[in-house]
Chains A and B, each alone.
Chain A
Amino acid sequence: MFGLEKKDASLLILVAVLTIFAPFILNPFPDGSALAQFNAGYPDLMQRFVIFGIFAIGFNILFGLTGYLSFGHAAFLGIGSYAAVWMFKLLSMNVIPAIILAVIMSGLFALLIGYISLRRSGIYFSILTLAFAQMMFALAYSVLTPITGGETGLQLALDDPRILSMASSTDGNIPVPSLFGMEMRDSTQLTVGAWKFTFNVGYYFCSVIMLVAFYIAIRIFRSPFGLMLRAVKSNQQRLNYTGLNPRPYTLAAFVISGMYAGLAGALMASMDPLAGAERMFWTASGEVVLMTILGGAGTLIGPVLGAGAIKYMENILSKINGDILHTWFAFLPDGLEDFIVTIIYPFIGKGWHLTLGIIFMLVVIFLPGGLVEGGQRIMQKLRGKSADTDSAKTEPAE
């Protein structure tokens, strides 16, 4: 299908099915029940799942394949957002031109930054990308305020030109981003018994784009270009003496992953039309690194899983508070209840970063292949095979 091997095609179909039915899958608990807070099937969060999925898929093309660890990829996300919002301000509220401009702009910036940064490798490359991203953050925050909106961020206004569409909607408000009339924020709700499912235009729009992005990533992984990128990671010396110039290959990977980041940024702006400099801050770059590693760098599905896991934790884990814990453990004797709640409390709510940091360290230490490797190991155990790490590594990345 689509020129993919059977295994890749089934992976793509699986991801497609999961995203289509996500509003059901992510809402397994009836509305109003005690466990409803674990439901992730609301539009805001589902949009974030797929958008950060795109971001991580793109980052993985660079880091997973070539091994070049960029610590400044959020800069391209920010550029994508700014470009998209400017399109909303100047041209129209249609998301298509916004996305196109965002991808082009982030690609151009990636070309420039990549061209310079890729003259070095290893930690120097990481620091160069970090330096560029911090520089852009600092500029966006201060002197570039006319373009970026500075501290408040770039927002839409009623008097924006929007030459291809109306400056304001019929009721006199700022119009919302849309795809040929379909407003991104529109949702339909379906109530089945105690369950409530929400289907959001924006989410499905992002999902379609994510599936396309995922499909392209699969093609890149299986292509001669992808093979060269893996060769860059494996042995640059041999690559050179085989008559291949590593730099344009890595630069191409850098630009492609920058464009993915720009695409993600544009989608973020399309769901909520504003852009702020904090999207470019280096912790945001660190976040995509975490997602990719957590899921499994160099694997196809890993970054999507990692993005999902981290966004889920960020939004669900962080909402649990002490009271909720007490209700959960109310069945225990009082002393024990308090004790357990005290132990768990630092890891939830505002402390979810702590949990994230610990999980991340454990993954780097014990599971360098991320969740995907963990899954493979469990599968092997279940099948009763002895863990054959060599053959696991030989398998082309999934």
Chain B
Amino acid sequence: MGILEVKDVNKRFGGLQALGDVNLSVQENTVHAIIGPNGAGKSTLLNCLVGKLIPDTGSVMFDGQSVLGRTPFEINQMGISRVFQTPEIFGDLTVMENMIIPVLARRDGSFKLRAIEDVRDEKDLIQEAEAMLDEVNMLDKRNMHSASMSRGDKRRLEMAMCLVQKPKLLLLDEPTAGMARADTNNTIDLLKTIKARGDITMCIIEHDMHVVFSLADRITVLAQGTPLVEDTPENIKGHPKVKEAYLGEAA
């Protein structure tokens, strides 16, 4: 029984079958990559996991509970954090303020009216946020206006915001899309460090094979909305079906 169990999920948009009988099982504390050509339904699948879309049929269980019909914030409170393809951060706020919000969300739940306390008095929260910033090498940028940072920095901030919540499952939607080589390598290193701690499950959608093969424990290949194969990276590399559907096309 994996921490995330997707069973017979179907999703249709008008005449287009975006997902057809998707079954997926992600084991706890592993890195599971989902790859596939454009239009394979990767993003649709991800949106079904976080409550943005509701599948027509099928079930999505996380940690023994169904996520279907829950809103994104409820699903996050269950322990799923998400990194977006283009970094989604609070651009009007400073880096530190960006970090404090997820820490508060984890401690206080989805809503708590605390209007008289001062944020700056929350010493332990600030410490926790600072420690996380340190881990992603951004402590020196703590007072920066986050919208004015480079894309790589925004990505690192977004990841730090997700990680500081100590999620059970981290979903990453093309975390290195549009990044320079150096930034990509930094991201891989960061994800490797997190993985090495062995207390987090990650599910990555990615185009960059370098990223996938250096991180993933299992890989699912999605094509035309249906999982083609699921196996270890070594086996996927030589799989004829995959070559035909994906690598052949890409190469």
Q: Per the CB under 8 Å rule, do A and B touch in the complex?
A: yes
Residue numbers of A with Cβ under 8 A of B are 3, 5, 219-220, 222-228, 230-231, 233-235, 237-245, 248-249, 252, 256, 390-391, 393-394
Give the chain B neighbours of A238 by CB distance below 8 A.
88-90, 161
Give the chain A neighbours of B122 by CB distance below 8 A.
224
Q: What 0/1 pattern do residues 110 to 147 of B give for CB contact below 8 A with A?
A: 11111111111010000000000000000000011100
Cα A202 to Cα B165 in complex, Å, equals 51
Name which of B61-69, B99-107, B181-189, B219-227 contacts chain A: B99-107
Indicate whether A223 sits within 8 Å of B102 (C-beta atoms), given known contacts A240-B71, A241-B72, A241-B73: no
Closest chain-A Cβ to B103's Cβ sits at a distance in Å of 10
Closest chain-A Cβ to B154's Cβ sits at a distance in Å of 11
Minimum CB distance partner of A5 in chain B? B120
Give the chain B neighbours of A228 by CB distance below 8 A.
101, 104
CB-contacts of B85-99 with A (<8 A): 88-94, 97
Whether the pair B76, A230 counts as a contact (CB closer than 8 A) is: no
Give the chain B neighbours of A248 by CB distance below 8 A.
111, 113
Whether the pair B88, A223 counts as a contact (CB closer than 8 A) is: no
Selected from B77, B113, B119, the residue in CB contact (under 8 A) with A243 is B77
Q: What are 17 residue pairs bridging A and B, where the CB atoms are less than 8 Å apart in the complex? A: A219-B116, A222-B119, A224-B117, A225-B113, A225-B114, A227-B97, A227-B100, A228-B101, A231-B93, A240-B71, A241-B50, A242-B81, A242-B102, A242-B165, A243-B106, A245-B71, A391-B145
Give me 8 other A-B pairs in contact (C-beta within 8 A), A220-B116, A227-B100, A238-B161 excluded.
Answer: A5-B120, A224-B122, A227-B119, A231-B90, A235-B91, A238-B89, A242-B81, A242-B101
Give the chain A neighbours of B110 by CB distance below 8 A.
243-245
Indicate whether A225 sits within 8 Å of B115 (C-beta atoms), given known contacts A231-B90, A238-B90, A394-B144: yes
Selected from A220, A230, A234, A237, the residue in CB contact (under 8 A) with B115 is A220
Cα A393 to Cα B90 in complex, Å, equals 13
* B interface residues, how many (CB within 8 angstroms): 43
Cα A67 to Cα B78 in complex, Å, equals 29
Give the chain B neighbours of A242 by CB distance below 8 A.
73, 76, 81, 101-102, 105, 161, 165
Cα A117 to Cα B158 in complex, Å, equals 31
**Is B82 in contact with chain A by the CB < 8 A criterion?**
yes
Give the chain B neighbours of A234 by CB distance below 8 A.
90-93
Minimum CB distance partner of A247 in chain B? B111
Cα A244 to Cα B112 in complex, Å, equals 9
Closest chain-B Cβ to A60's Cβ sits at a distance in Å of 15
CB-contacts of B195-243 with A (<8 A): none
Give the chain A neighbours of B144 by CB distance below 8 A.
394
> Interface centre among A233, A241, A256, A391, by most B CB within 10 Å?
A241
Give the chain A neighbours of B89 by CB distance below 8 A.
235, 238
**Is B148 in contact with chain A by the CB < 8 A criterion?**
yes
Closest chain-B Cβ to A2's Cβ sits at a distance in Å of 11
Give the chain A neighbours of B116 by CB distance below 8 A.
219-220, 223
> Interface centre among A231, A238, A391, by most B CB within 10 Å?
A238
**Is B56 in contact with chain A by the CB < 8 A criterion?**
no
> Interface centre among A220, A226, A252, A394, by most B CB within 10 Å?
A394
Give the chain B neighbours of A243 by CB distance below 8 A.
73, 76-77, 102, 105-106, 109-110, 165
Minimum CB distance partner of B100 in chain A? A227
Cα A178 to Cα B237 in complex, Å, equals 85
Minimum CB distance partner of B76 in chain A? A243
Give the chain B neighbours of A231 by CB distance below 8 A.
90, 93, 101
Indicate whether A239 sits within 8 Å of B118 (C-beta atoms), given known contacts A245-B110, A245-B111, A394-B144: no
Whether the pair B113, A237 counts as a contact (CB closer than 8 A) is: no
Whether the pair A240, B72 counts as a contact (CB closer than 8 A) is: yes
Give the chain A neighbours of B73 by CB distance below 8 A.
239-245
Selected from B92, B93, B108, B145, the residue in CB contact (under 8 A) with A224 is B108
Closest chain-A Cβ to B244's Cβ sits at a distance in Å of 36
Indicate whether A233 sits within 8 Å of B92 (C-beta atoms), given known contacts A240-B71, A243-B110, A243-B165: yes
Whether the pair A394, B143 counts as a contact (CB closer than 8 A) is: yes
Cα A12 to Cα B148 in complex, Å, equals 31
Cα A239 to Cα B90 in complex, Å, equals 8
> Interface centre among A223, A233, A391, A393, by most B CB within 10 Å?
A223
Give the chain A neighbours of B108 by CB distance below 8 A.
224
Cα A249 to Cα B105 in complex, Å, equals 13
Give the chain A neighbours of B104 by CB distance below 8 A.
224, 227-228
Whether the pair A222, B91 counts as a contact (CB closer than 8 A) is: no
Cα A66 to Cα B222 in complex, Å, equals 40
Give the chain B neighbours of A235 by CB distance below 8 A.
88-91
Closest chain-B Cβ to A244's Cβ sits at a distance in Å of 5
Closest chain-B Cβ to A225's Cβ sits at a distance in Å of 4
Whether the pair A230, B114 counts as a contact (CB closer than 8 A) is: no
Whether the pair A226, B93 counts as a contact (CB closer than 8 A) is: no
